[in-house]
Structure 1
Amino acid sequence: MKRNFLCLAAALGLFAGLSSCKDFLTTEPSGSLPTERVQKEFSLLQPALRGVYDGLQGSSSSTSYYGGLFLISGDVRGDDMQCPTTGSRGNDYYHMSFDQTTMYGPWYKAYGVIRRANRLISMCQNLQPKATTDAQKQEVGNALAQAKAVRALVHFDLVRLYAKPYPYSNNGAMLGIPLVLSVPENKSMPGRSTVKEVYDQIIKDFTEALSSGMLEETSYGYLSSSAVKALLARVYLYMGTPEGNTEALRLSKEVIDGGKYALATQLAEYKQIWSEASSKEMIFSIVNFDSKDWSDREGFAYILSVYGYYNALITKKFYDEMMEDPNDIRWNVLWASKGTKAAGAVQNLPGTNEDMKLFIGKYPGKAAFKDMRTNDIPVIRLAEVYLNAAEAAFKLGNTAQALSYLNVIVKRANPAKSVASGDLTLNRILQERAKELVGEGHRFYDLMRNGLRCERFYDGKPGWHVPLTEASRSFDHTYFRTLLPIPKSELDANATLAGQQNPGY
């Protein structure tokens, strides 16, 4: 399926028009409608679907979700990346200095995407009885399945940002986030559902998308059945229950054994995993086709690049862990600052120099365009699926299976290395996740959902960290700032939510 993007403004305009058109959402039988009108309704389906994906990405003026700071925030709140310079994009996340009046972007951006998905779902449900050809039925069914899958993904992102990790939520009884499952009326004021209710709905949406049989097995820039299975496995893994781990392992195994994707093993291929459409390892990414999709320098690739804003880099802890194996293939997507503007950023870090590979180089942009802003935005790839399977199998007590999946990633990093059964621990699996997924937004959540402390000082010393508050130097999921605050403007506008702010804010 070829995907050509509309600009965000056009997508917003389209959806505003659709949501205000009462005639479009009627339940008139298709037989009573003129053929021309039915054809016009079907012609709006693909633009509406593109608008949903454009919402996930964001734009140069909307940088709080996947296209901007969302992935970065999952790294710099952990112990493997940092924002060392004053004014860095991501500083609020790194310092954990946000409050309910300053941290509002993720909430509104994510719920904006959910509203788009819900409008598309309503559109598809209206069009289904009017679809008379197999092609129309497939098109409507595919769009409906994708809309449900996107809604599930966004609800999952929101519950990770604003609610306790499932294993520490009193069996899911603690407050999660508002579930928005329809096009809301202006007076709608939903309150927070429980964590369990949110996870149940996420699983329901992903499962219905899969069971529809309408998703393609693979798809560049769209959610496919393989991508939905992989993402659903991630959701189950985050639950941390025996049933969740069982399902995470089952679904991960299906993706791996399906043979639709393969790990990159050759160096040239490996270095292109995150940027080129030809990668056989990337299961789902949000696609940029050219620099017009991202019109300035606020995209996450530019924020990280030594040729851009170089606003985040790895920590001394992570560097020392990488130095345990100088032949690790993953050194090839860490960049040194020598010869770039980023060289100045390491001058004040004790014990560093411009030859040290301290910056994330996974996102150079597509080679054809020679512009880092064109880089696709990674959501899930096969390496994570192997690691999800390894963690789930370990937690289920299946050591042999866990070791088998883990060593696939270890040996890809260096064929001369492997993990022995006696050395297999949860921390060893999480260490491999950290090395493999750095710069992709996972480390903070991996620590929090497993009840581990985030130690941002190194052996009791700052390492390369700039001054942090005592509470932000070492914390676990009990620290109130591990959850984002619900924006005050939302609390003021929604009486139901007014008494449901996260504690501490």
Structure 2
Amino acid sequence: MKNIFKTFGLVLALGMGACEEVLVEDPVSLATADGYYPTPGGIEDGLRASYTTLRSFYGQQNGFFLTVTGTDIFTNGFGGIANNPHINNYSPNFLGTSGTVTNIWNNLYVGVNQCNTVVNRVEDVSGISDQRKAEIEAEARFLRGLYYFHLVQQWGDVHFSLEETSGVQTEANRTPENTIYETGILPDLEFAVANLPESASEPGRAYKAAAEGLLARVHLTRGNWAEAERLAANVINNYNFELVTPYIDLWDINNEDNSEFIWTVQFTDDPLLNGPGNSGHLYFIFDYTFNPAMVRDTENGRPFQRFLPTNYLFSLYDREMDARWNGSFKTVWYANIPGEINGQQVNPGDTAIHIVMEPVPDEVKQAAPYWIIDYKGNWIGNVSAYQEIGTNQRRNYPSLLKFLDPLRPSINETAGRRDFPVMRLAEMYLIACEAAWRQNNSSAAADYINVLRTRAALPGMEEEMQVGPGDIDLDFILEERARELIGEKHRWYDLKRTGTLLERVRQHNLDAAPNIQEMHLVRPIPQTQIDRVSNPGEFPQNPGY
């Protein structure tokens, strides 16, 4: 469904709390919503438009800032400090005026309102079957459940409505988070499970397994352990998903339609249909262009250096056994121009940079015909030594490779074409593992996690990678989730869900440690929202901001 995000003129932006007029265009017929949505083509176009907002969160910088940084495994890189340091650092300057929180808030509500529009209008459509009406409603409710899940996870009690907003609305409510789950998110996803088809009609469409997987994630978040395990196990056992082996092949850009991805947000190489594109390729990579034998190219990416792995993240991998280290991180770069390194000639194709995860004597580094960047265990934010991870003002570090996009048409292109994996089979094993452990079934938890660890094992190390019931605890589960899902927009939610955000950030993210406190379990409400409501006494800012 690469063209599912094509702009449709009848998309209605959410007017909740806004005093701005929205330009509504229909260049083909100038039809009104009331005249177009009741038609089969109109409701299908409205449903397609409900997916559009996914691209404002998944694969975008703002979404990464609110889910990746400010955790135990990522802090600010050079570009993070230069562009948006306050979210990771939980500094006093992280306020409702933040463009990041405003952008995400606004776009999620645009998505909610478009879904409300489809759900409210589909029954009035003539010319399609009742079954198709139910499927359309189920797709829209799946998406609405996802949009509201992000809203309550990020902001807590938020404005809640299941009705379409078609004009200016200046009065808002702060509905308790629990109410939104019980009357919105859970019923929406249960309806989606009951009414979505068994398989997607097009890539990117919501279907039954995706709804079950998302519902499993929500039940895990809510502490409904038995239901979370049941749903995750059903996705594991009763569909045709398989873990991709070896792990690195999961991130081959030519293997996007693989057996492990349950549901992805679609991007494309067609610039007319790609919207902002998936820009994830920009943010996690080392600026290799300081090396005298390298210039920017499409294979190695355009380095924005926003997100820097913490020392704790490096410590999680047993690189002698776990293929997820080399399957997740790039540590070797090859020269793409002639150059001189340490007084020695380097030609295209020769090694230009090698990151080594142990200390190397300076005399060895200075004698090598390439940069050796080593790791001494010093806090990556304070390193100034010669060619050590974190040097060059946090530009030098292993690059997360799973979002790289070597098929971009030019070296400066930011709109990538790689699909974003919202849900994959590995997450279902992790959900089932944690849910089983929470029910005091450590044996089942070990069985689930060992499937993943078998896939993750380097050849010949499968037995050594296995764990027993006594190895399973919350720390191990969080470590395994970090190793498996790094960068995929789960971590901030994982730490919040498990009640470990404050403790783990204070222990492992030294940039954020001095500032983080209880108030930071939710984000600041955008100031534009606060300013626009006509009932400000009933719509206050989150405490502390």
Tell me how far apart the structure 1 counterparts of residues 332 and 419 of structure 2 sit (CA, whole Å): 23
TM-superposed deviation, 1:265? 1.5
- Give yes or no for contact 1:262–1:281 (8 Å, CA) kept in 2: yes
Q: Output one character per residue of 1:465-502: Cα deviation in whole Å (capped at 9) or x when no partner.
A: 5x556123xx5xxx212311111221222244544321
Aligned equivalents of 2:383, 2:185: Cα separation in 1 = 43
Name the aligned partner's letter for residue 209 of structure 1.
A
Equivalent position amino acid for 1:411 in 2 = T
Unaligned stretches of 5+ in structure 2? 14-22, 287-300, 337-351, 354-370, 374-379
Q: 1:449 to 1:295 in 2, by over 3 A?
A: closer
C-alpha contact (below 8 Å) 2:5/2:274 kept by paired residues: no
8 Å CA contact 2:269–2:417 kept in 1: the answer is yes
User: In 2, distance between residues paired with 1:497 and 1:396?
Assistant: 43
Report the identity percentage. Answer: 22
> What is the match of residue 172 of structure 1?
none
User: Is the counterpart of residue 195 in structure 1 residue 173 in structure 2?
Assistant: no
* Counterpart selection for 1:121 from 95, 119, 122: 119
TM-score for both structures, normalised by structure 2: 0.74
The structure-2 alpha-carbon separation of the partners of 1:277 and 1:20, relative to structure 1 and needing over 3 Å to count, comes to same
- Paired residue for 2:431? 388
- Mapping of 1:19-418 within 5 angstroms? 21=32, 23-24=34-35, 41-58=39-56, 67-86=60-79, 87-88=81-82, 90-97=84-91, 98-102=94-98, 103-127=101-125, 130-131=126-127, 136-163=129-156, 176-184=157-165, 185-187=167-169, 189-200=171-182, 201-214=184-197, 216=199, 220-240=203-223, 244-267=224-247, 269-272=249-252, 276-290=255-269, 292=271, 293-294=273-274, 299-306=279-286, 307-308=301-302, 309-323=304-318, 325=320, 327-336=322-331, 338=333, 349=383, 351-352=388-389, 358-365=398-405, 373-414=416-457, 415-416=462-463, 417-418=465-466
Cα 1:375–1:82, aligned 2, differ >3 Å: closer, same or farther?
same
Alpha-carbon displacement from aligned partner over 1:348-406 (angstroms, at most 9, x marks no partner): 74542899862211112375979771111121111011000000010011122111111
The CA deviation string for residues 314-358 of structure 1, in whole angstroms up to 9 with x for no partner, is: 111111222464543342221237459998998974542899862
TM-score normalised over the length of structure 1: 0.80
Q: Is the 8 A contact 1:313 1:360 kept in 2?
A: no
Deviation at 1:92, TM superposition (A): 3.3
After superposition, the Cα gap between the structure-2 partners of 1:310 and 1:368, relative to the gap in structure 1 and judged at 3 Å, is: closer
Tell me the amino acid that sits aligned with residue 408 of structure 1.
V
Q: Separation in 2 of the partners of 1:43 and 1:57? A: 23
Q: What is the DSSP-based 3-state SS (H/G/I as helix, E as strand, rest coil) of the residue aligned with 2:225?
A: helix
Alignment correspondent of 1:30:
none
Q: Per-residue deviation at 1:126?
A: 1.7
Unaligned runs of 5+ in 1: 27-37, 59-63, 164-175
SS in structure 1 at match of 2:52: helix
CA distance in structure 2 between the aligned counterparts of 1:144 and 1:259, rounded to whole angstroms: 23
Instruction: Note the alpha carbon deviations across 1:439-484, whole angstroms, 9 max, x for none.
Output: 011122212221223444667xx7xx5x556123xx5xxx212311
- Indicate the residue corresponding to 1:439 in structure 2: 487
1:503 — aligned with what?
543
Q: In structure 1, give the amino acid aligned to 2:309.
A: I
- Find the aligned partners of 2:218 and 2:256 in 1 and give their Cα distance: 26
- SS at structure 2 position matched to 1:99: coil
How many corresponding residue pairs? 455
Distance in 1 between the 2:241 and 2:506 partners? 38
Instruction: Tell me if the contact between 1:124 and 1:140 (Cα under 8 Å) persists in the aligned partners.
Output: yes
State which structure, 1 or 2, has the greater radius of gyration over its C-alpha atoms.
Answer: 2
Taking the aligned partners of 2:381 and 2:106, their CA distance within structure 1 comes to 38
Distance in structure 1 (CA, Å) of the matches to 2:257 and 2:278: 25
Distance 1:190 1:439 in 2: 34
Which is worse superposed, 426-435 or 339-348?
339-348
Q: Residues of 2 paired with 1:271 and 1:104: CA distance?
A: 31
Say if 1:22 and 1:456 are closer, same or farther in 2 by CA, change over 3 A. Answer: closer
Partner amino acid, structure 1, of 2:389: T
Q: Show the counterpart of 1:489.
A: 528
Does the 8 Å CA contact 2:330/2:401 hold for their aligned counterparts? yes
The 1:291–1:482 alpha-carbon spacing in structure 2 relative to 1, beyond 3 Å, is: farther
C-alpha contact (below 8 Å) 1:68/1:299 kept by paired residues: yes
**1:333/1:469 CA distance change after superposition, 3 Å:** closer
CA contact (8 A) 1:275 1:363 kept: no
**Contact between 1:101 and 1:487, CA under 8 Å: does it hold in 2?**
yes
Partner SS, residue 379 of structure 1? strand
